[in-house]
A and B are shown apart, each in its own frame.
Chain A
Amino acid sequence: MQDGVAAAMESLDLFRQLTEAQRRSLAALARLEDLPQDAVLLRTGEASARLWVVLEGRVALSLDVPGAVEALLLTLGRGELVGWSSMLPAPRPRAVANARALEPARLLAFDAGDLQRLCEADHEIGWVVMRSVLAAVGRRLTETRLQLLDVYGKRP
């Protein structure tokens, strides 16, 4: 299993900045999760204790809209993070969206507590990890803004 983790980490751009030794330290905290279609990773209102990286398949983020059908916000694919809010300082915010596997998916899962402790203990690793999280959040923010523009909508 850990061989699979190492191979997966090596194949991701996300960890390319790390040395071999740093990657091994991180790999020690990770495990592979294989999820069937529609498996739930995160539920609205729960505080996430894990950070995932999608390896195969797609994960959908959705919002429960009272009185309406569930709205899909975003689908995430290979190399993208799920549950990044687990990397925020305590108290961890509760998820505002659901995350579920849109199809059978394989993910790399980190325990957020372990990961934060490693980042604290080794700032070299911490810097690379937090920068990757920030890059993912920043990209998510930009894309959300583009979605907000509603460029395909009818103009006034």
Chain B
Amino acid sequence: MTAQALARDDLGALFDALRAEGYRVVGPTLRDDAIVLADLRGPEDLPAGWTVRQGPGTYRVERRDDEALFGFAVGQHSWKGFLFPSRERLVEMRREDGALEHRPAARDAAPLAFLGVRGCDLAAIEVQDRTFMRGRHVDPGYDARRRAAFVVAVDCLEAGDLCFCASMGTGPGVERGFDLRLTELGPRFLVAVGSARGASVAARLPLRAAPAGDERRRRDGLDDARAHMGRTMQADDLPGLLFGNLDHPRWDDVAARCLACANCTLVCPTCFCFSVETVSDLSGTEARRDRAWDSCFTVQHGQIHGATFRPRIKDRYRQWLTHKLGAWVSQFGVSGCTGCGRCIAWCPVGIDLTEEVAAIRATSRPAVAMPPPPAPAPAVREPMVPATARVTAVRRETDDVVTLRIAHEIAFRPGQFHMLGLPAIGEVPISIAGGDGRSVDHTIRAVGAVSGALAALEPGHALGIRGPFGSAWPLEACVGRPVVVVAGGVGLAPLRAALDTMAARPLDYPSVRLLYGARTPADLLFTDDLQRWAADPRFAVRVTVDHAGADWRGDVGVVTRLITDVPPDAVALVCGPEMMMGFSVRALCAAGLPAERAYVSMERNMACAVAHCGRCQLGPYFVCRDGPVFRFDRIARLFDQEGF
């Protein structure tokens, strides 16, 4: 097929054709001294004759000496603002007369046509597709908007001052993933069709055969752009390199400049972290959950009930860069950077990630191996809409801990968790402490607003439940081996279903040792279960507390004191406060257990539980998706690393 061209003067026909096919056209326009993305009426709204001059911390629009329509590099907006809006309603809830209803929020899926999508930005859309559409859980809003969107890509024949798409393999030309592609060649556009939808729109355009040599002019222009990239960055080895250099002095250096303002994450076309907020009317009858862009530079991003996992700016910058250029590959199979340069221009102090990477590389220690991305899994839709369930029984375990029995027919594996929520209050991850197929048990410690409200529920009350989510204790790997279970405090709850499974299968689990530590005798959970397990001749149950009165006949002292005589072929399941797990695994390993047979259950901030909100990151992993149960050797490096 011969190349086709559209005269610049006929560009209005493209707008007409897109509208005729039902699209709303959005694209670049000059507004407030910047080229932004907005609704376009026609070619007259495009920034004809404008370009931008950029540097670290600098962005200025300038007149060109021609009237090019796409003669500028990307600005602060990206298409993520349309596909993953900065604020979006997820779930609507109604509670009235004891009845609780959850429903997905209404979505505006009016098809958009994106006019002027550059190579880096099309790559960025495909990066976000992996987060919201290609994992086990599909974000229905993103999915609908993305599938409906029509992409008119534009080649970059000029490179910007901060561009490095050539290094990242995302540009300057657009070779796939578009419906139509335009190459601006003075008085006309070279037009390429990339899809059936593109062909349908193209059929409405007054296209003509492109003059001979246009294809070569395109190639030459792309070569020229490639040769004049404002920045370069060697990226292929960055995951292992950055994670092998978590203690590099450059992190302190960049932290001294970084303001933790979050600009880089907001302008980044691939950053996807969000927070979930619960909003309700005054009566609490109508409530909803909204999501809003969040940033790993905020304190609350890494916070759970008072503890902050990334207290210093150094921790947060390192989290961002190691995620963007490193962990992303393990999580999604692709780098999170497309080389658009936005984060350099819009950083108020002009931090340039290509410079930071080069500085780390210059004096780096060896790279480390990184885990591969997970295999694609079947998709679950509407993962954020809870089911409604009712509490059937409440058992008080301690002063501030209760166990709720919730009528809910679900299959789960011991170690997994549910998101439990109340309409006007919020939602939190709670491990599953037991279940029989008709109901599930959740043991909840009242530490915050949501857990406090959940712990105050009474039989008959309704709540929202999502899940089960996450990884499970490796009960199959424990078959036939001695099992050492080390639990601390409420950490016994996520192990209870595993202990019950082992109690119910005597042939598979000939020897189970439970070592349980708590603060005081009054803080012990499941005392009747402890007695039941202790009565089983295959079980050895040892309980120790940190503080006790003279009437206590059990052990006193830290739980690690109970870790002695570990059988060499044992498997250890460990759950409790992170510090207690660290000391316990160290004691187990000192007693001869290899780290690959120790498993721990991790806790991080979670808003979605479906690997979309980005908050529960633990290096290359999401705690909600790859955890909460991890084989210890897989996270050992991060376990002792401050700021993760």
Contacts and interface: CB of A to CB of B under 8 A. Distances in A.
Interface in B399-439: 400
Contacts of A62: 550
A53 B547 CA distance: 23
B553 A71 contact: no
Nearest to B305: A155
A28 interface: no
A150 interface: yes
Contacts of A69: 549-550
Interface in A101-156: 102-103, 143, 146-147, 149-156
Given A73-B556, A75-B557, 17 more contacts: A69-B549, A69-B550, A70-B549, A71-B547, A71-B548, A72-B548, A75-B554, A75-B556, A143-B557, A143-B558, A146-B560, A150-B519, A151-B576, A151-B580, A152-B576, A154-B447, A156-B306
Given A62-B550, A75-B557, A152 B518 contact: yes
A150 B557 CA distance: 11
A75 B400 CA distance: 27
Contacts of B558: 143, 146-147
B557 A147 contact: yes
B550 A70 contact: yes
Interface residues of A, number: 24
Contact of B557 (A74, A102, A151, A152): A74
A58 interface: yes
B73 to A, nearest CB: 46
Contacts of B261: none
A154 B400 CA distance: 10
B583 A146 contact: yes
Contacts of B259: none
Interface residues of B, number: 32
B556 A74 contact: yes
Given A152-B577, A155-B305, A155-B307, A71 B488 contact: no
Contacts of A153: 519
B523 interface: yes
Contacts of A73: 556
B477 interface: no
Nearest 3 A-B pairs (CB), nearest first?
A152-B489, A152-B519, A70-B550
Contact of B546 (A77, A147, A156): A147
B642 to A, nearest CB: 16
Given A70-B549, A72-B547, A72-B550, A151 B488 contact: yes
Contacts of B560: 143, 146
B523 A152 contact: yes
Contacts, number: 67
Interface in B509-530: 517-519, 523
A60 interface: yes
Nearest to B445: A154
B561 interface: yes
A152 B307 CA distance: 13
B7 to A, nearest CB: 67
B68 to A, nearest CB: 58
Contacts of A72: 547-550, 552, 556
Contacts of A71: 547-550
A149 B580 CA distance: 10
A74 to B, nearest CB: 5
B149 to A, nearest CB: 44
B266 to A, nearest CB: 30
Interface of A: 58, 60, 62, 69-75, 77, 102-103, 143, 146-147, 149-156
Contacts of B546: 147, 150, 152
B579 interface: yes
5 contacts: A151-B576, A152-B490, A152-B576, A152-B577, A156-B306
B561 A143 contact: yes
A4 B505 CA distance: 42
B555 interface: yes
Contacts of A103: 553
A75 B306 CA distance: 32
Tell which of B306, B549, B576, B579 has the most Cβ of chain A within 10 Å.
Answer: B549
Contacts of A70: 549-550
A74 B555 CA distance: 7
Contacts of A60: 556
Given A71-B547, A72-B548, A151 B577 contact: yes
Nearest to A62: B550
A82 to B, nearest CB: 14
Tell which of B447, B547, B557, B583 has the most Cβ of chain A within 10 Å.
Answer: B557
Nearest to A64: B550
Contacts of A151: 488-489, 576-577, 579-580
A77 B556 CA distance: 11
Contacts of A156: 306
Contacts of A146: 558, 560, 583
Interface in B481-537: 488-490, 517-519, 523
A155 B488 CA distance: 15
Contacts of B550: 62, 69-72
Nearest to B549: A69
Contact of A152 (B488, B555, B583): B488
A149 B577 CA distance: 11
Contacts of B547: 71-72, 147
Contacts of B548: 71-72
Nearest to A78: B564
Nearest to B306: A155
Contacts of A58: 555
Tell which of B400, B489, B517, B556 has the most Cβ of chain A within 10 Å.
Answer: B556
Interface string B301-330: 000011100000000000000000000000
A77 to B, nearest CB: 8
A151 B489 CA distance: 9
Tell which of B490, B544, B560, B577 has the most Cβ of chain A within 10 Å.
Answer: B577
B397 to A, nearest CB: 13
A114 B554 CA distance: 34
B518 A102 contact: no
Nearest to B555: A75
B300 to A, nearest CB: 15
B449 to A, nearest CB: 14
Contacts of B305: 155
Interface string B194-226: 000000000000000000000000000000000
A134 B379 CA distance: 59
A81 to B, nearest CB: 14
A155 B603 CA distance: 14
